[in-house]
Amino acid sequence: MMSNETQSADNALDVTQLHEGSVVTVSTRNSTYRLTIRDSEHRLASIEGGQFFYKPIVGSIEGTPFEDGPVQVGIIQPGMRLEILADHRRIVTSPVRSLEVSAVH
């Protein structure tokens, strides 16, 4: 069974708390990404969307990078950028505008 939940601008999402098969739709200022969780403990997902992921590829959802500090690992925060590692590249998105989670229960 799946349920949809939209995160508001002040609600961060911890991808390590999602179940395998959950789908996170991330809308940024410039693109929309579809992240299908494969292994939440290791933050692995099938990633599709934006200019870099025109076809699905397995990558790591690193989290929210801070300008003067470390990445907040596994966290997707509306209003902040999202860092993804895939195909030996580090991609940092434009700021996240909204999140929608289709969670598997």
- 8-25 burial code (b ≥16 CB/10 A, e <16): eeeebbebbebeeebbbb
Give residue 28's pLDDT: 95
Q: Token pair of 5, please?
A: 């939940």
Mean of the pLDDT values across residues 46-73? 90
pLDDT tens per residue, range 11-58: 899 999 999 999 999 999 999 999 999 999 999 999 999 988 999 999
Identify which has the larger pLDDT, 104 or 31: 31
HSE-up (13 A, CA, CB side) for residue 75: 14
Structural domain boundaries in the chain: 2-104
Give residue 69's pLDDT: 73
What is the model's pTM? 0.85
Q: How far is CA 88 from CA 8, 37, 45, in A?
A: 31, 19, 15
